[in-house]
Amino acid sequence: MARRKLCLLVASEITVRAFLAGHLRALCEQHDVSVVVNTSNPAFLDDLGLKVRVIPLGIERNIAPLRDLAALFALIGLFRRERFDLLHSVTPKAGLLGMLAGFFARLPLRVHIFTGQVWATRSGFSRQLLKSMDRLLAACATHLLADSDSQRDFLIAEGVVPAGKVEVLAKGSISGVDVARFHPAAQVRKSVRSQLGIGAQDLVLLFLGRLNRDKGVLDLAQAFIRLPEGSRLLFVGPDEAGMQAEIELISASHPGVQFVAYTDKPADYMAAADVFCLPSYREGFGSVILEAAACGIPAIGSRIYGITDAIEEGRSGLLFPPGDVDALAACMRCLADDDALRRRMGDDARNRAEHDFSSARVTQAWLEYYDALL
């Protein structure tokens, strides 16, 4: 196949590095790939050895009408000059601006992947406004993807996308899990626990991600304080909205809560944990659950679209109604009290991650999808 000009449009460097690096590495072997991203460092991918062209362009994460309009016109001009054969956008703001600009520039193939809806937890005017933006995005795209079956069904049921226009690649997930990076590691487990002052026999429940209300971290703290001493709850990730202070207030009666503000080695903390917890109110897929699964630990997650694809209930983990602290606490007690159940679920979770969600499998699905379109 002749080399084509591909453009991936993303709002942040983190998204590219965390979810797209493997796809980009494979795509640039066959095509000329450009990444349009909000960055001040066009060389930010050099350390990964990726042979892609980085085009900096200011795309704000939040709504900023004047800057958004400037970004839209800049994208239209870029697309008219470059005449990409295929445009693929990731994240909501990049998707809206990219699909609009691609439509006005008449790019032939305009693909967007939905990875979660901000409006899913909103109400009133805010929900309707953000939902209408997703509808506009979908109308301007020629092809649509969702990163999970349940998210695709949600988008169709909400009238955002027509049933025949949205697909899920492979078993879902935007990037899959690198099973060479995420795996059980006894020595790492011992080292991390020693650094944190956690005993070898202590039960460790882990939350890893951004600390904000939509992730359900306050529910997690309220459920955890019902467990006996000797249990640990470890929060790893940036505090976006003063959540640590609220969590500390909730858990003042329980000495087992700890925080790590940042890590570039999430696999180490997963290897050190016994149970992964994601009591989120909205997710696209919950890829972090797959990473934990590859490390051989079961997960507890809220029964919402995205997470229901990442956790096979009763086999790789447990689900509970979102916001139900009593049910969350019951799930935590269930796994805390049964070592054999945790081990069995952890084994099943790892087998499922390796078989259905390896990064190699997801990347291959992307390549085949692109080949079919082109």
Q: State what percent of residues in the chain have pLDDT above 70.
A: 100
Q: Which one is the CATH code of 186-356: 3.30.1540.20, 3.30.70.20, 3.40.50.300, 3.40.50.2000?
A: 3.40.50.2000
Which fold would CATH assign to domain 5-176+359-373? Answer: Rossmann fold (3.40.50)
Mean pLDDT by runs of 10 across the 374 residues of the chain is 91 91 94 96 91 92 88 98 98 96 98 93 92 97 96 96 95 94 96 95 95 95 92 94 94 93 93 97 90 97 95 97 97 96 97 96 96 95
Per CATH, 5-176+359-373 and 186-356 having the same topology is answered yes
What pLDDT, on the 0 to 100 scale, is given for residue 1?
Answer: 61
Angstrom distance (rounded) from CA 353 to CA 342 = 16
* Domains of the chain by residue range: 5-176+359-373, 186-356
Cα 188 to Cα 126, 262, 353, 366, distances in angstroms: 45, 17, 20, 33
pLDDT of res. 262: 87
pLDDT given at position 373: 96
Q: Quote the pTM value.
A: 0.90
